[in-house]
Chain A
Amino acid sequence: MSQFVWMLIGVSIVTAVPRVLPMMLVSRFGMPEWLQRWLRYVPPAVMVALIAQSVLTEGETFVPLHENQNLVALIPTLIAAIWTRSLLVTVLTGIGSMLVLQLWA
């Protein structure tokens, strides 16, 4: 148990510091204009990078393109997102598409 507690403390600190540090520093010292400009592109970039990671890779290897079900399920998901702009409909479409793919393919 004490082994576990040390591990827990360690991983919690190294996770919490990157989460809180920028917000705390900005609330104290503000942020230069060029950085704000740059950070405007970070949200779409991070989210697209996370999509690419979960769609294209499995563990530390690429999923071969010709057997990548994620890419197929991505098409109706993307259409649902653009068409409805609803997060819930998009998520349900994605899950539904993947379910159909796994039953039929």
Chain B
Amino acid sequence: MDDPSRAVMTGERIDGFKRLLPEAATDEAEGKPFPAGRDRDGVAGTGTAAAESDAACGKRGESMPNGTSDAVEELTFWGGVRDCVPTLLGYWSIGFAAGVVGATAGFNVLEIGLLSVFLYAGSAQFIVAAMASAGSSIISIIVTVFFVNVRHLLLSAAIAPLFRQYSMLKNFLLGVQLTDETFGVAVNRLSLHANHRDKWMFGLNVTAQLNWVIATLAGAWFGAWIPDPERFGLHFALPAMFVGLVVQQIMHRKQWRTDLIVAGTTVAYFAVLFLWLPSHIAVILAAVGAACTGLAVERWR
């Protein structure tokens, strides 16, 4: 399914992208441990085009012409499953709450399960429940969900270079299960020096969605008997997870100044935009604006 010739033909562009990915190797080169949450056995090279593409070099260490310590990390489906584990508390608590809210809004267990399988989006499932119980029209629900979820365009584009050598069908299958959480884990964990990124991503995706479906069904079934998860601080699992992910990422990339400016301006843009706009639109525009700011700082410093 993967096309080796395309990966080779586009080697120039891939190389261009790799220069933008210093996170691939710096830590290991200095003998520091990986940040927790990454595989301890992970080995990444220090950057040659030979490291690219499953098809181009199937085995670890193969086709390394200069005999340096460059090595390709072999990812697996089960590695993706394992890397999903730290996010599960977030899925369980939010999913359980989404199930409770769905049941309260009058959806039956089957309908809640179908929403988790086909819609599979936390905030959108809350909004569907709220709007359905308020008697909103189908069209207005669909339009609202579109605006809530259109930020996935950004996430999908940002991880697309990591999957570009795979077929469109495979990209469809990997992308359709993309969420904020799996995106966060994937950008921290994956680099162009790792093989079988498709299998790893599929393991991550399947684990995440399976737990999401189970959590929402549990909420739908048992919600009435179990007290509000908010009372146990569980609603903070999600922001805490993003804090962990973004800190890992910034510490790993070693471009503190620009990244901290981007983080700071994101908060500022969000706070200002939220004065006039719905929060899910403010999130998108704040992220777009801050990324432009980062690019500007990089250019003119």
**Are B168 and A28 interface neighbours, CB within 8 A?**
yes
Q: Smallest Cβ distance from A26 to chain B, in angstroms?
A: 4
Query: Complex Cα distance A70/B21, Å?
Result: 33
Query: Complex Cα distance A8/B141, Å?
Result: 10
**Are B161 and A12 interface neighbours, CB within 8 A?**
no
Residues of B close to A30: CB separation below 8 A: 10, 13, 164
Identify A18's interface contact among B152, B242, B245, CB under 8 A: B152
Query: B247 on the interface (CB 8 Å rule)?
Result: yes
* Binary interface encoding of chain A residues 17-39 relative to chain B, with 1 for a CB under 8 A from any of its CBs, else 0: 01111111111101101011111
Query: Complex Cα distance A78/B250, Å?
Result: 13
**Are A60 and B278 interface neighbours, CB within 8 A?**
yes
- Tell me the interface secondary structure of chain A in the complex: helix
Residues of A close to B13: CB separation below 8 A: 30-31, 33
- Tell me the interface secondary structure of chain B in the complex: helix
Query: B134 on the interface (CB 8 Å rule)?
Result: no
Q: Pick the most buried of B235, B266, B293: most chain A CB atoms within 10 A of its CB.
A: B266
Residues of A close to B271: CB separation below 8 A: 52, 56
Query: B29 on the interface (CB 8 Å rule)?
Result: no
Interface size class of B (residues with CB under 8 A): 35 or more
Residues of A close to B152: CB separation below 8 A: 15, 18-19
Residues of B close to A82: CB separation below 8 A: 247, 251
Residues of A close to B262: CB separation below 8 A: 41, 44-45, 48
Residues of B close to A98: CB separation below 8 A: 233, 235-236
Query: Complex Cα distance A77/B239, Å?
Result: 9
Q: Which of B69-77, B180-188, B214-222 contacts the other chain?
A: B180-188
Residues of A close to B243: CB separation below 8 A: 51, 74, 77-78, 81, 90, 94
**Are B118 and A48 interface neighbours, CB within 8 A?**
no
Q: Smallest Cβ distance from A43 to chain B, in angstroms?
A: 4
21 residue pairs bridging A and B, Cβ less than 8 Å apart = A10-B145, A26-B171, A33-B13, A36-B16, A37-B298, A38-B295, A39-B157, A40-B21, A42-B157, A42-B158, A43-B183, A44-B246, A45-B266, A48-B246, A50-B242, A50-B283, A56-B270, A77-B236, A81-B247, A85-B247, A94-B237
What is the total number of residues of chain A having a CB less than 8 Å from a CB of chain B?
A: 77
Residues of A close to B240: CB separation below 8 A: 73, 77, 90-91, 93-95
Residues of B close to A47: CB separation below 8 A: 180, 184, 242, 245-246, 249
Q: Smallest Cβ distance from A48 to chain B, in angstroms?
A: 4
**Are B175 and A31 interface neighbours, CB within 8 A?**
no
With A8-B114, A22-B156, A60-B278 already in contact, the answer to whether A88 and B37 are too (CB < 8 A) is: yes
Which 6 interchain pairs have the tightest Cβ spacing?
A94-B240, A98-B233, A86-B36, A90-B244, A41-B294, A99-B233
Chain B residue with the shortest CB-CB distance to A40: B20
* Binary interface encoding of chain B residues 129-164 relative to chain A, with 1 for a CB under 8 A from any of its CBs, else 0: 000100000110111011001111111111111011
Query: Complex Cα distance A46/B180, Å?
Result: 9
Q: Which of B39-47, B48-56, B57-65, B83-91 contacts the other chain?
A: B83-91
**Are A44 and B236 interface neighbours, CB within 8 A?**
no
Q: Smallest Cβ distance from A75 to chain B, in angstroms?
A: 10
Residues of A close to B292: CB separation below 8 A: 38
Residues of B close to A41: CB separation below 8 A: 258-259, 262, 290-291, 293-295
Query: B267 on the interface (CB 8 Å rule)?
Result: yes
Query: B174 on the interface (CB 8 Å rule)?
Result: yes
With A11-B141, A27-B167, A37-B295 already in contact, the answer to whether A87 and B157 are too (CB < 8 A) is: no
Query: B225 on the interface (CB 8 Å rule)?
Result: no
